[in-house]
Structure 1
Amino acid sequence: MDKPGEAQDPQDAKLHSLDARSLRGLAHPLRMRLLNALRRGGPATASQLAAKLGESSGATSYHLRQLAAHGFVEDAPEHGKGRERWWKAVHKGVRFDDALLKDSDPDVRGAADLFLHEVANQHTQEIATWLGTGDDWPEAWRRASDMSDWTLRLTPELADELIHEMHDLVESYRARTPDDGTADAEQVRVHSHVIPVRTN
């Protein structure tokens, strides 16, 4: 997870740094799924999101209002032509501070733990979806997908350096984003996990 308080670049302006209040507003499985759907799919109505996520429109409407109250989504009136309310994501992503896991308020610690577990669940679901639908994609995309892992022996300082270098590399590809008219360009998800493991 990105951590606030580090060197900022233009991309950081599109990220929201979670604090105790906003974390409590976001740390709910459906709210996180709704926010991700708006970030990746663009503006939508509660009914459209309900159909996409397999939820009731009453539930999506309620949780969208909660996300709005905490500054994660806002109205997208430029998309509305009828009475139904359209929503859009305010930020491109969030930055999580590990200090939230040690907050003096147990509710904040619980929200931080739920948030991180839900992120892990979403990563797992995305991989499972790819494995289940990979045959629907062109062969070029089958060859261009990847699931790899490595085992290294590092100090915390070297692990932190590795994380930053990986993030910088991924961000460098934003400047190479193809035009909207590029026929074979697709949205791509990149997961990064650096975690220590015990050997005994």
Structure 2
Amino acid sequence: MSTATVAPVAHPHLLDEDLLVSTPRPLRVVAPARRRRPRVAYAVVAVIGALLIAGAQMGLSILTTQSTFDISSVAQQQRTLNLQKQVLNDKIMGLTSPQYLAANAAALGMVTGQSPSYLRLSDGAVLGPQRASNATSSLDALGNGSVPNALIATTPLVSNAQATINGAIAPTPAPAASAAAANPATPPALTDGLPTPATH
């Protein structure tokens, strides 16, 4: 076996003197690198952004709450209008009832004939008794056999504002009663505490 000789590697930058003799270098104080000051602009932008987000959330919350109150108010108005519509429909149903129409016709002097007469168009002949009706109606729409209509019990007739379907004079409401009738949703006024039922 042969022994390999290791030759020193020569660096082109280093001279032989540098390899043999090393001179001590003087020590220097190495200060830590100065920390950068945080920029004020970044902090200002961050604070303004946070304030804008908080303000936007507050504004949306206020708008949502306001719209909730508006919806509640409109729903209350809708309920009131539905009740008024129902009252008006009841009045219309009463005014178009056969009893009210018959009472108004009788108050105007109209009578119901017993047997009607007919005119035949082909030859112009009149069929039937051909006589005028009596002063009284043959049918009594408001008689004992009819069912009373509570919707029109106090409604005045068209021809006479003081008469009702029963023939009575329409009562004039007292001032306190008219206020209660104008707003039927309000409870009666309490003068002596809560009302109690009579037990005896």
TM-score class, shorter-chain normalisation, is: under 0.3
Q: Which has the higher strand share?
A: 1
| TM-score, normalising length: structure 2 | 0.20
Structure of larger gyration radius: 2
| TM-score, normalising length: structure 1 | 0.20
Query: Greater relative contact order: 1 or 2 (C-alpha under 8 angstroms, separation 6 or more)?
Result: 1
